Amino acid sequence: ETGVTQTPRHLVMGMTNKKSLKCEQHLGHNAMYWYKQSAKKPLELMFVYNFKEQTENNSVPSRFSPECPNSSHLFLHLHTLQPEDSALYLCASSQESSGGPTGELFFGEGSRLTVL
Amino acid sequence: AQSVSQHNHHVILSEAASLELGCNYSYGGTVNLFWYVQYPGQHLQLLLKYFSGDPLVKGIKGFEAEFIKSKFSFNLRKPSVQWSDTAEYFCAVPQGGSQGNLIFGKGTKLSVKP
């Protein structure tokens, strides 16, 4: 039990589908993140939400659309993806303070996405 | 921009061998440093972290890391590995050095032979 739960664990979708990944954290944290983990590439930070406001968007294509309705839930909406978007998508949370982030992220187990 | 380099892609060791995994970062100012571990089929989790103070940091499961500012390095060590240490290890640093979101290295896969 990680404290960060991601669903679904596995997703196969066609390029014209619309799907969503869901993340829920049970740790009382105030920041949530989406990372992309591809084979042989470093973990890529996609989106950051601090106190429910998006504070980072690392040039992610618009076919990925995040949503953070509250501090415990984070979604990643997927639309017209490409095969190269196939990867493990990791959600993480942390507790941020006015002194700056602790850098300690708590990760979920990931959603393995395959785009056909 | 900050960057992190891990030199070893895959390391294979026998049980009881000593381990050292390299990590170098590019930012030269105040820096926080982290090692994360991902065991097979499990989530990424924090192994140890350095914020300030003693440059030799002790983590869980007998791991330690030494911050050497002059070398921009934060190498991970363990005197005697076990089969259960088989995992992928990631070095990470905040984008701005001491604040900001984590930038990860490519990871080093460690395989320990029983």
Rounded to whole angstroms, the Cα distance separating B68 from B47 reads: 18
Which of B5, B10, B44, B48 would best serve as a mutation to test chain A binding (most A beta carbons within 10 A)? B44
pLDDT confidence of residue A102: 65
Q: What is the pLDDT, as a whole number, of residue A101?
A: 57
Please write the tens of the pLDDT for every residue from B90-101: 999 887 644 557
A47-96 pLDDT, tens digit per residue, is 988 876 677 777 899 999 999 999 899 999 999 999 999 999 999 998 87
pLDDT in tens, B37-58: 999 989 999 999 998 889 999 9
Which residue carries 């940091």 as its tokens? B57
**pLDDT tens profile A28-38:** 998 899 999 99
Nearest-neighbour CA in chain A from B77: distance (Å): 20
pLDDT score recorded for residue B98: 47
Verify whether the Cβ–Cβ distance B49 to A108 is below 8 Å.
Answer: no
Is B64 a residue whose pLDDT tops 70? yes
Report the alpha-carbon distance of residue B102 to residue B90 in Å, rounded: 11
| Rounded alpha-carbon distances, angstroms, from residue B111 to B10, B49, B85 | 8, 23, 8
| Residue B27 pLDDT exceeds 90 | no
pLDDT at B31: 82
Please, are residues A112 and A10 in contact by the beta-carbon 8 Å criterion? yes
Dist CA B106 CA A37 (whole Å): 10
Q: Which residues contact B54 (CB under 8 A, 6 or more apart)?
A: none
HSE-CB at B94 with a 13 A cutoff on CA atoms is: 19
pLDDT for residue A12 is more than 50: yes
Listed as own residue / partner, the contacts of A59-66 with beta carbons closer than 8 Å and 24 or more positions apart are A66/A34
In a 13 Å sphere around the CA of B81, the CA atoms on its Cβ side amount to 22
User: How far off is chain B from A63, nearest CA to CA, in Å?
Assistant: 23
Looking at the DSSP bridge assignments, the partners of residue B50 are B33
What's residue B113's pLDDT?
A: 95
- The 8-class DSSP code of residue B105 comes to -
